Amino acid sequence: MEKYTWRAVIKEGMKEEYIRRHDTIWPEMVEVLKEAGVCNYTIWCDGNDLFGYYECEKGLEHALKVQAESEVVARWDISMEPIMTMFQEKPEQVFFLE
C-alpha cells in the first residue's frame, strides 16, 4: 500500500481552532477521503508543527487525483489557510520496518 506524508505549521494562536476543526471535520470531507481510498490517516502535532500520514488503498495517484478534483477539498483548504501553512516539499523517508 502506498503511503503519503505532509508537513505544515499552525499559525501562532490558532492551535485550539485547528484541533476544533478536526474534532468537527465535515462529513463530506470524510466521504471524499474515503472515496479517494485514504485510510489510517493520522496527524501529529509537536508545538505548532504538524506531520500528516495516510495510506492509499487505491494507490497514491488515485488518492491525489480525487482530492485535487474535489470541490469539498478545495473549500476545506481555503478554510484552513488562516490557520495553517503547508510546506510544499515532502518529507523524505529514511527508514521503514515492516
Give the residue numbers spanning the domain of 57: 2-86
Residue whose C-alpha is closest to residue 81's, from 21, 2, 5: 21
Three-state DSSP state, 81: coil
In a domain, 91, yes or no: no
In a domain, 21, yes or no: yes
**Amino acid 88: pLDDT:** 84
Name the residues annotated as catalytic.
Answer: 22
> What predicted TM-score, i.e. pTM, was given to this entire model?
0.89
In a domain, 28, yes or no: yes
Do 83 and 45 touch, CB atoms closer than 8 A?
no
**CATH number of the CATH domain containing 82:** 3.30.70.100
pLDDT digit string (tens) for 21-66? 999 999 999 999 999 999 999 999 999 999 999 999 999 999 999 9
Residue whose C-alpha is closest to residue 54's, from 90, 78, 17: 90
In a domain, 93, yes or no: no
In a domain, 12, yes or no: yes
Strand bridging mode 84-86 / 2-10: antiparallel
Total domains in the fold of the chain: 1
Write b or e for each residue in 34-58: b if 16 or more Cβ atoms lie within 10 A of its Cβ, otherwise e: eebbbeeeeeeeeebebeeebbbeb
In the block, which residue shows the cell 505548532? 48
Would you give the end-to-end CA distance of the chain in angstroms?
12
